[in-house]
Amino acid sequence: MVGGGRGAFIGAVHRIAARLDDQYELVAGCFSADPEKSAASAADLGVARSYGSFAEMATREARRTDGIEAVAIVTPNHMHAPVALQFLRRGIHVICDKPLTATLPEAKRLVKAAEASGVIFALTHNYTGYPMVRQAKAMVDAGDLGDIRLVQVEYPQDWLAEPIESSGQKQAEWRTDPARSGAGGSTGDIGTHAFNLANFVSGLTLCELAADLQAFVAGRRVDDNGHVLLRYTSGARGMLWCSQVAAGCENALRLRIYG
């Protein structure tokens, strides 16, 4: 694992998921850019092989006969591409948190590297794995709804309704910093999940969109709310709403598809 040490959020989620079926064992990690913090997190987790940098980890693990088979990248967005490239070049499978990268040029470069590597690159749009979501997709694919006309997807949260990034809240700090999160705020953090879910279940292909993005919290440098109109190649229409300032919504992902 790269990232996911003390004070992180998503790293623990990955570790819990890995234990659900015990197909993965955490044996090595660079849990922080600070070698001492990485070692401390490794000790917390009972991980023997702790590294001070992701480059060192990729190099040394690739040389071991018992080296890792796959790496989970659970860093802020701006580090996805550089970390993934190191492991792909050494033939190590990659499980990367979304969004793919912080910029489009980085994404294109990473796609080429993944295709050339001969190993698996997995992006964690995990909501598509729920049985209920799979059932919905099967119904759409079977034609139970007829031709799809409308897609409505929303993902509102409220945890950034106040400027908590200025209070030292680690998760809010990097998610509202465009240098680390990329240009998208709520769009990159949760809008990506909503968009992926709508596409997965509907099977439609987007051709045009019109986005109205806002930063409602004064001084915030990335969007914290977005309304997006969608047009699909089939003629279907859709709307995506993502927000992290919607009071009363902890994690209210919802999808509606009409045929």
State in words which class domain 2-124 has.
alpha beta
Give the integer Cα–Cα distance in Å for 229 and 46: 47
Kindly state the average pLDDT of the residues 6-22.
91
Q: Are 135 and 229 in contact (CB under 8 A)?
A: no
The contacts of residue 184 (CB under 8 Å, 6+ apart) are 99, 191, 192, 222, 223
pLDDT tens, 230-258? Answer: 999 999 999 999 999 999 999 999 999 99
21 has pLDDT over 90: no
pLDDT tens, 62-121? Answer: 999 999 999 999 999 999 999 999 999 999 999 999 999 999 999 999 999 999 999 999
Domain positions in the chain: 2-124, 144-258
Task: Enter the CATH code of domain 144-258.
Answer: 3.30.360.10
Residue corresponding to tokens 């997995």: 122
11 has pLDDT over 90: yes
The pLDDT value given to residue 99: 93
The pLDDT value given to residue 184: 92
Q: Are 152 and 239 in contact (CB under 8 A)?
A: yes
Global pTM reads 0.90
Confidence of residue 7 (pLDDT cuts 50, 70, 90): confident
194 has pLDDT over 90: yes
The pLDDT value given to residue 114: 95
> Across the chain, which distance is largest between two alpha carbons, in Å?
58
Residue corresponding to tokens 């070049």: 89
Give the integer Cα–Cα distance in Å for 35 and 54: 10
